[in-house]
Structure 1
Amino acid sequence: MASYLAQEVQLARRHDEILSQRSVLLQQMETHLGDKKTEKTLQMLAADAAYKRNTALLNTLYWASVEESIPKWEQFLLGRAQTPVGFKKKKSSEYNISHAKVAAQR
């Protein structure tokens, strides 16, 4: 009978140790999950900031290229010159096909 009591006490202590370890592991998991959520939030904020920055840069570069090409196109738009060099004129068949596709999509 004494051996059963000693064995029961030993099992109860082991049970308490396991519960203590489980509690520590659960706390570590919660902390880790919180860190991951914070990291993901920071990554999303950084990605959003990068997207906004890139969009602003693209817009700036677009308008800079427009301003740079204005002198090339100015005489053409005023009807005083031919199409600037580097501009590929669409063939009438390509023009009709592309407009037919756009009309079909509407």
Structure 2
Amino acid sequence: MSDFSAEETDLMDKHEHILSRRAELLERMEAGRQPPTSHRKQQEKEAEAARHRNESLLQDLQKIEERLKGRRLPAPSLLAMETRYWASLEESIPAWEHFLLGKGPHPADSRGRSPPQRAERRASTAQDRGLPPLPKHRPAR
């Protein structure tokens, strides 16, 4: 009979341990369901600050839109020149694209000008301006 009572006490101890763990878990679940009021207050403050920031950004955007509406458009000749500029850039994109990807020659070289001619022309223009000649390379002694 003593064996039976020892088993009973072990089972009672295990049962008490299980009940205490269950109570702890239930407390944790209740605490997780209801956030603390300080956390809720902090969230409300952050939401109010974000709302205020958004309102000020909207007001700034409206002011900028009003200023832009009041501006005069550029002169028609300037707009035409800008349009031609962008059109010429779009036409030259394929040539530059091949050069920058390493698939073709420099776009200026394909127009009939070679690099040595450009270098000679630069040298002659430097002399025309009255600049002194470049120093000659002297070997070290």
Query: 1:61-85: per-residue Cα shift (whole Å, max 9, x none)?
Result: 111232244233224xxxxx227xx
Where relative contact order (Cα < 8 A, 6+ residues apart) is larger, the structure is: 1
- Structure exhibiting the larger radius of gyration computed from Cα positions: 2
Give the one of 73, 94, 102 matched to 1:82. 73
**1:19-58 pair list within 5 angstroms:** 19-39=15-35, 46-47=42-43, 49-58=45-54
Identity %: 3
Per-residue deviation, 1:42: 6.9
| Structure 1 portions without partners, runs of 5+ | 76-80, 84-106
User: SS of the residue aligned with 1:82?
Assistant: coil
Per-residue deviation, 1:53: 3.1
Q: How many residues align?
A: 74
TM-score with structure 1 setting the length: 0.52
CA-based RMSD: 3.0
TM-score with structure 2 setting the length: 0.41
Hey, which of these two has a bigger chunk of helix by percent? 1
Distance 1:20 1:71 in 2: 76
| Structure 2 portions without partners, runs of 5+ | 75-141
Give the one of 39, 56, 60 matched to 1:60. 56
